[in-house]
């Protein structure tokens, strides 16, 4: 089965790729509907940038950004994921109709997050994380990145289960670009089977990240990274990942259509 496609919708002034484009709630809702029409399965709404060096956002400001958009999308029949590290925002988003909590900190940024996940019973995406954006580049030190990420995700799982989170609720994300060098990211992608051995679905978020610039001509734009993003998505689909989180839905949908056609041809 093809991966789910999570469409990125940042309602922030400072996200690394699309900051400031959809700060108006009506425009953001229209964009979310457009992304669904392009083939997304769910729209991932975020109100706090996690680009390297980004400053934290107060949860009240975060909710002022995301809740009107979530309500508008849900009213239009669009499934929504809330991209947040804050438990209060996650709970408010759930009450507004979000069906997934996507937490880039894996619960480490807010000790109450697991309580909210257990309470709401929503699907929970727990990403590998070592620290906030202002500090994460200095934390990219590993003995073996795949082994270490696997071990640290396993520790997150053990803690969230103590809080009452059910195994079936949890999706894991290796956290490409978060306290990872380009070499670390490629190693994680090349050894996804070791992460899958934890027994949970995987989400991959490679979209437009700076490590993809290494395979492009010098001076390529961020949107030029959509092609390698789609190629990564195709390989990830072959590896059996559950979901891909992307900015450009159309190119990823095309790549996944190719994968499906390839598999169908092999079966004839």
Catalytic residues: 209, 245
Kindly give, in sequence order, each residue whose CB lies less than 8 Å from that of residue 113, ignoring residues fewer than 6 positions away: 85, 86, 87, 90, 101, 103, 105, 107
Vertex 263 angle, CA 257 and 264, to 5°: 90
Sign of the four-CA dihedral 133, 93, 205, 187: positive
- DSSP state string for 65-122: HHHHHHHHHHHTT--EEEE-S-HHHHHHHHHHT--EEEETTTTSS-TTHHHHHHHH--
Q: Of 36, 53, 37, 58, which Cα lies nearest the Cα of 45? A: 36
The residues facing 172 across adjacent strands are 126, 202
């Amino acid at each position: 089965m093809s991966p789910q496609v999570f469409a990125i919708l940042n309602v922030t002034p400072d996200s690394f790729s699309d900051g400031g484009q959809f700060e108006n709630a009506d425009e953001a809702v229209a964009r979310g509907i457009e992304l669904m029409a392009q083939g997304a399965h769910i729209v991932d709404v975020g109100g706090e940038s996690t680009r390297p060096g980004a400053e934290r956002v107060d949860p009240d400001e975060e909710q002022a950004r995301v809740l009107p958009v979530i309500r508008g999308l849900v009213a239009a029949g669009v499934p929504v994921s809330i991209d947040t590290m804050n438990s209060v925002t996650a709970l408010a988003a759930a009450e507004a109709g979000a069906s997934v909590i996507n937490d880039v900190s894996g619960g480490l940024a807010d000790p109450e997050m697991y309580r909210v996940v257990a309470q709401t019973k929503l699907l929970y995406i727990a990403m590998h994380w070592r620290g906030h954006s202002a500090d994460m580049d200095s934390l990219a030190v590993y003995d073996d990145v795949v082994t270490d990420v696997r071990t640290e995700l396993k520790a997150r799982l053990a803690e969230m289960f103590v809080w009452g989170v059910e195994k079936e609720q949890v999706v894991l994300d290796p956290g490409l670009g978060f306290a990872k060098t380009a070499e670390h990211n490629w190693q994680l992608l090349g050894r996804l089977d070791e992460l899958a051995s934890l027994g949970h679905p995987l989400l991959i978020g490679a979209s437009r990240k700076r490590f993809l610039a290494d395979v492009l001509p010098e001076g390529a734009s961020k949107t030029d990274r959509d092609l390698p993003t789609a190629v990564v998505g195709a390989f990830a689909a072959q590896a059996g990942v559950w979901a891909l989180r992307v900015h450009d839905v159309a190119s990823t949908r095309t790549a996944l259509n190719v994968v499906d056609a390839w598999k169908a041809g092999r079966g004839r």
